[in-house]
A = this chain, B = another copy of it.
Amino acid sequence: MRPLDPLQAAEGFSLPGGIMTQLDHQLEIYDTTLRDGSQQEGISLTVSDKLRIAGLLDSLGVSYIEGGWPGALPKDDEFFVKARKELDLRNATLVAFGSTRRPRTGVAEDPQLGALLDAETEVICIVGKSWDYHVTGALRTDLDEGVRMVAESVEFLRAHDRRVFFDAEHFFDGFSANPDYAMSVLGAADASGAERLVLCDTNGGNLPEDILFALDGVTATLPFESLGVHLHNDAGTAVAGSLAAARAGVRQIQGCVNGYGERTGNADLCSVIPDLVLKLDQPVVTEDQLSKLFSLSHHIAEVVNISLDPHRPYVGTSSFTHKAGLHTSAIARRPDAYEHIPPEVVGNHTRMVVSEQAGRASILNKTAELGLEIDDDLARQVLERVKEKEQVGFHYEAADGSFELLVRRMTGWQQDFFHLESYRVHIERRSGEPVSAEATVKVRVGDRRHVTTGEGVGPVHALDGALRQALVTAYPEIEGMRLSDYRVRVIESSDGTGATVRVLIETSDSNGSWGTIGVHENVIDASWEALTEGVVVGLLRIRPQEI
C-alpha cells in the first residue's frame, strides 16, 4: 500500500486569496540550467558541455531549454551556432535569453537585441525590471522609460517573428513595493505581444504564500494561462513555491536541474518535476522520461563537475537509503513501509547501508546482495568489526568491494592472487623541468617474484601501472579493468597535512564497477590499499571463490 493519492487528500481545497486549485491546464517546464544555473559558484560550462546538457534535457521532456545569453558571453554565441547544426531536439524548444534594450537607446541600435536575433531561435526570453527602485536606482532612468524599454524590446522581437517570453525581474519584491508600477510593466509586455509573463523572485526570499498573494493580484487583470514563475531558493522554499503556483494555475514553471543557480540556487527541477507528476498528477513529462531523472541528474552533475548532494530529494544516492536498524528490519519485510514512492519511478533504487547504526539485519541484507552467505553469529561479529573500522575513519557505505573483503577475511579467507613484498615511489621536480613520478613494486604471484617499475603523471598512476605490469601475465583480465574514479578526502582536516586521509577508488570492467577504500595518514599508502583491494575484488568477480 502506498500513501493515498495526495490529490484525493487535497480535494476541495481553496488556496489563499480565493485562488482555486486548477490542475487541468497544460503545465510547461522551462529549464534554465544552461543560463541561470551556470551562475552558480563553481560552475563553468564549455560549449560542448552545454550541447551535451541540452541533449539530456530534451530527453527528459522539458518544454523549453534556455541556452544562454548571446551577445553577453562569446561562448554562448558559439553555443547557438553549434546548436543549430548539431542539436536535434525532439521535445524541447531552444530559447535565447537576453535583456531589454538599454535606457534611451533605440531598439535597432541595441547590439544585444541584435545578438538575440542572430541566435536564430524560435523563442526569445528577455528580462526587464519590474521593481520601481531597480529602474531608478540600478538602471538610473525614469519609470516611464522603464516601461518603454520593455514594450519596445518585446515589439521589436515580435516584429522579427520571434515568440517572446518576458521575465519580470524582482517581480514579487516590486509588487510589494509598488504594485501599480510592477503591473504596468507586466501589462506593457503583455500588450506588446509577450506570450508568457514570468514572475521572477530574483532575490529568492519570498515564501509560497507571498507567491500566491502576488498571483492573486496579478490574475485580477492578466490570465493564468500567460503566467510563469521563476523562483530562487534563498528561503529554502523554491520547490514548494513553484508547486503552489502550479496548483494556483500558472502555465510555466522555470527552474534548474539539481537546483543549480546563483547563491542558494533556482527551484530544483529534479524535485519539482516528480512532485508535479507523482504528487499532483500533472503529466509534465511521461512515465518513461521520469524514469530517466536519476541518471540525467547524475550525468549533468558529472558534466558540471560538482558532486551531487547525496541527500537531494528523488535523485540523491541516499534518498532511498536505509541505515537505522528499525527501518532496515521493517523494510526487509515490506519495502514501501519507509519509502514515499517506489524509487524506480525516478530511476533511483533502494539501498541498504552498512554502518555502526545498522543492525544484524542490514549486514545480512548486504551480504546477501553480495552473494555471500553468513550466519547470524558471524553477522554480529562483522557488525562489531565495521564499528571498529568506522571509528578510525573507514566508511563502507561507498566501498562495497572493501566490505566484501572484510567479510571474507572474517571467515578465515585470505586473498592468494598476489603478495606484496614492498613498494616505493619517487617524485622529483627540478626547477624548469616537469615533475616525474616513478613507482617500483615487488610482489609474489604464486612462486614467481615480480619486480616492476611504472612511471606516471602522479604517484598513484605510477603505482597502478607497476602493479598491473606485475600481475598481467598471471591475470590477463586485469587489462579490462580500469580505475574509473579516485577520490581523496581528508577526514580530520583540522590537523592539516598530518591528518588522516580516506581514499575511495572505483574500479570497473565490462561487467560493472565496485568501490574500495583505504585510510591512512599517508595518502600514497591509503591509495595503495584501495588500489590493491580494487584489483582483488575485480579478480574475484572473474574467478569466484567460495567462503
Contacts and interface: CB of A to CB of B under 8 A. Distances in A.
A312 B265 CA distance: 9
A461 interface: yes
Interface stretch (A101-109, A153-161, A234-242): A234-242
Given A233-B313, A497-B464, A524 B459 contact: yes
A425 B427 contact: yes
Interface stretch (A188-196, A220-228, A481-489): A481-489
A542 interface: no
Contacts of A461: 496-498, 521
Contacts of A173: 3-4
A340 B422 contact: no
* This protein's copies in its complex: 2
Given A39-B324, A313-B236, A209 B10 contact: yes
A353 interface: yes
Given A138-B330, A334-B137, A459 B522 contact: yes
Interface string A407-432: 00000000000011111111111110
Interface stretch (A116-124, A198-206, A370-378): A198-206
B210 A6 contact: yes
Interface residue SS majority, chain A: mixed
A17 interface: yes
B44 A207 contact: no
Contacts of A524: 427, 435, 437, 458-459
Contact of A205 (B44, B279, B419): B279
A522 B435 contact: yes
B482 A486 contact: no
B425 A275 contact: no
Contact of A41 (B239, B397, B492): B397
Contacts of A457: 498, 521-522
Contact of A428 (B41, B236, B423): B423
Interface string A454-495: 001111110010000000000000000011111111111110
A486 B459 contact: no
A456 B496 CA distance: 12
- Tier of interface size on chain A: 35 or more
Contacts of A353: 41
B498 A487 contact: no
B275 A237 contact: yes
B17 A13 contact: yes
Contact of A340 (B204, B213, B464, B485): B204
Interface of A: 1, 3-4, 6, 9-10, 13-17, 38-42, 44, 72-73, 133-134, 137-138, 172-173, 176-177, 202-210, 213-214, 233-237, 239-241, 243-244, 247, 259, 262-265, 268, 271-272, 275, 279-280, 302, 305, 309-314, 316, 318-325, 327, 330, 333-334, 337-341, 353, 355-357, 390, 395, 397, 419-431, 435, 437, 456-461, 464, 482-494, 496-499, 501, 520-525, 527-528
29 contacts: A3-B205, A6-B210, A9-B214, A10-B207, A10-B213, A13-B209, A39-B357, A42-B318, A44-B355, A44-B356, A133-B337, A138-B333, A208-B208, A235-B239, A237-B275, A263-B320, A264-B318, A419-B431, A420-B431, A422-B430, A425-B427, A437-B522, A457-B522, A458-B521, A458-B522, A485-B494, A488-B501, A488-B523, A523-B523
> What are the 5 closest A-B residue pairs judged by CB atoms, nearest first?
A205-B340, A483-B496, A240-B240, A236-B271, A457-B521
